[in-house]
Chain A
């Protein structure tokens, strides 16, 4: 297997969606190709870091304010559509 072929399957490999034979071919490649091993390992870490990062968490006070604004807009839109309004 060439490195470029490995790279093409990297996303499927990391997501664990490969059939057993293809996965085993990729495992074999990783066993001897240090560069692909590092790319695979650091890509996995990239995903984990972003997944755990809690970027852009919604603060509680803003959350309450937004929810209240959403619900009053929804109620208003319902009233404006109600027959006879």
Chain B
């Protein structure tokens, strides 16, 4: 099945060569792997923990763990997918420690079926990202994605921001493919809904949009 994979397009053999050199004790090879993926791990960690210090810790701990457990990496998946799995687990542990009042798990069944159904349908401005300056836009996007449950935003970040395939996301998060697809759909729709008020065309709020397409479809 072909899916969107815009970011990580390294030839597997080259990555595996680095991994094998690192396994044989070549630290320069491991450093090259760090250089290759540190930005991705940092982004994923910060999206999950929502805290810069925690994200820095996660980057260090994830790579250290990967280094110490390299022998256990079976080379059946990409090194990056294996690394993401380690980083996600580290990040979730941080989040649990910081927010002990809430059990944070990727397995939690988040009952937000209704939240995902479009309630407001309004056309957006043709270039919504140009309605705000860079700092404002960043703030809007950050606050909006932070409002999603961890299980949803992790799937969204891996699939749509980092460009992992559905299969790789399922592998990294130890979820089934249907679970990834269902969370991705709900994450995308919830983000869309929450961004509506920032990006809709001037004067197009409400109107016929109050009735979403989630009705009986007999229109």
Contact = CB atoms under 8 A, between A and B. Distances in A.
Interface residues of A, number: 48
Interface of B: 1-4, 6, 25, 27, 30-31, 34-35, 38-39, 42-43, 46-47, 55-56, 59-60, 63-64, 67-68, 117-118, 121-124, 128-129, 137-138, 141-142, 145, 156, 160-161, 163, 166, 181, 184-185, 188-189, 191-192, 195-196, 199, 208-209, 211-219
Nearest to A70: B63
B3 A15 contact: yes
Contact of B188 (A47, A52, A78): A47
B46 A7 contact: no
Q: Is the interface of B mostly helix, strand, loop or mixed?
A: helix
B184 A11 contact: yes
A10 B118 CA distance: 12
A51 interface: yes
B39 A63 contact: yes
B212 A35 contact: yes
Interface of A: 1-8, 10-12, 14-17, 33-36, 38-39, 41-43, 45-47, 49-53, 55-58, 62-63, 66-67, 69-71, 73-75, 77-78
Contact of A57 (B39, B124, B196): B39
A16 B4 contact: yes
A70 B219 CA distance: 59
Given A7-B118, A15-B4, A55-B161, 8 more contacts: A4-B217, A8-B185, A34-B208, A43-B192, A50-B141, A62-B56, A74-B64, A78-B27
